Amino acid sequence: MKKIIIIVLLLWGTVAEAQIKSATLTASGLTCSMCSKSIYKSLIKVTSVAQVDANVEKSSFAITFKEGVRVSFDDIKKAVQDAGFSVASLQALVAFHNEQITNDTHAVIDGTTFHFINVTPQTLNGEKTVTVVDKNFLPAKDYKKYSTYTKMKCFATGMKEDCCPKNTGSSNRVYHVTI
């Protein structure tokens, strides 16, 4: 019985470390506090969202995610778009556990496939902030800049392609990020 409890605790601890904890989103097109409130109301309805704190002056939103619930950045983006606005930037705080990355590395974190763009070879441990560099998560000129760092087809589509390693998460969605 003690062995089973120890194994369960070890597995639970490992799963808890690889998690998307929170995000900071900047929206574009806001002109007043009512705009901010509209985005807030839309974001708080996303199933993975536990809390949203709005900063009207910076047009930004601090989002805390529910523990153990899979996070979809597309759901966050859709919520902002449903409120009538667009995402100008999205950074996420992710807990890593000995994740070896280089440019064009794919990694599965909390069931989500990340493709690292414009990074130096390194091992990620602990909480690190990643910036989503996919189309519609940053201005077009910045997206174009990041496209020069990879030739992989998945960057243009946001979906797994022949260029992606097999066994990279349960979804076909690939989020392109940088540190």
pLDDT at residue 12 in the model: 38
48 domain residue, yes or no: yes
Residue 128 lies in a domain: yes
Cα 33 to Cα 115: distance, rounded to the nearest angstrom: 35
Residue 90: strand, helix, or coil? strand
Whether 126 maps to a domain, the answer reads yes
So what's the pLDDT on residue 169? 59
In a domain, 44, yes or no: yes
> What spatial distance separates the first Cα and last Cα of the chain, rounded to whole Å?
43
Of the candidates 86, 52, 67, 76, the residue with the CA atom closest to the CA atom of residue 20: 67
Domain that holds residue 91: 18-178
Number of domains forming the structure of the chain: 1
pLDDT for res 1 = 47
- Residue 6 within a domain: no
Question: Does residue 1 sit within a domain?
Answer: no
What pTM was estimated for this model as a whole?
0.85
CATH number at residue 115: 3.30.70.100
Contact 177, 115 (CB under 8 A): yes
Per-residue pLDDT of the chain (179 residues; tens, 9 = 90+): 444 433 333 333 333 344 899 999 999 988 888 889 999 999 999 999 999 999 988 999 999 999 989 999 999 999 999 999 999 999 999 999 999 999 999 988 878 889 999 999 999 999 999 999 999 999 999 999 999 999 999 999 999 988 887 766 567 899 999 99
Q: Does residue 31 sit within a domain? A: yes
What pLDDT, on a 0 to 100 scale, did the predictor assign at position 168?
60
Q: Would 52 be classed as within a structural domain?
A: yes
